[in-house]
Amino acid sequence: MSSQMREKPCRTVRNLSIYVANRPGALARIAQTFSRRGFNIDSLVVSAGATPGFSRMTITAEGDEAGWDQIIAQCSKLVDVVACRCHEDEDAVVRELALVKIRCDLAARTEVLQIADHFRAKTMDLTETSMILQATGSPSKLDAMVGLLRKFEIVELVRTGKVLMARGEEAT
């Protein structure tokens, strides 16, 4: 069978929430677990947890469908990991923050501000030749906003990556 006829493994994107003891090297060990399995980390956010000495990692990664159970099991076995859980977008509140710096003159400013208003973005900086918008929301909302702003010159774009929290009373 030729290599062109072989089926490629099904690659999926998943969101993992990992609760870890805040110790040196914890992030490196977790990232290495993904790397060894050929998974690409698309987004990584680490922040303090509700309990001092612990952190919450939100990792969005892409990899072979068959390998996800192994990734979760291997991360869960790491010494610093307290809990590791996969979340679907439906069972969690998923948000991201974006800062977009746009070069725009006075003539284009009204249209940029209309787009910003539609997406509930805030103006964080405004000069005669540029502006910085801040927007929060789902990744698809931010993708849509950035898509509309591409007709102007985007000087810089920074996104935080996904943060998430399980819906209801269930712990993330």
Closest CA to 151 of 112, 113, 119: 112
- 11-87 in CATH: which number? 3.30.70.260
How far is it, in rounded angstroms, from Cα 59 to Cα 104?
Answer: 34
Closest CA to 65 of 9, 15, 18: 9
CATH architecture of 93-165: 2-Layer Sandwich (3.30)
Query: What's residue 90's pLDDT?
Result: 77
Domain ranges of the chain: 11-87, 93-165
Q: What is the pLDDT of residues 28-80, one digit of tens each?
A: 999 999 998 888 899 999 999 889 999 999 999 988 888 888 999 999 999 99
pTM (2 d.p.): 0.79
| DSSP character at residue 168 | T
**Mean pLDDT to the nearest integer, 78-106:** 91
- Report the percent of the chain where pLDDT is more than 90: 68
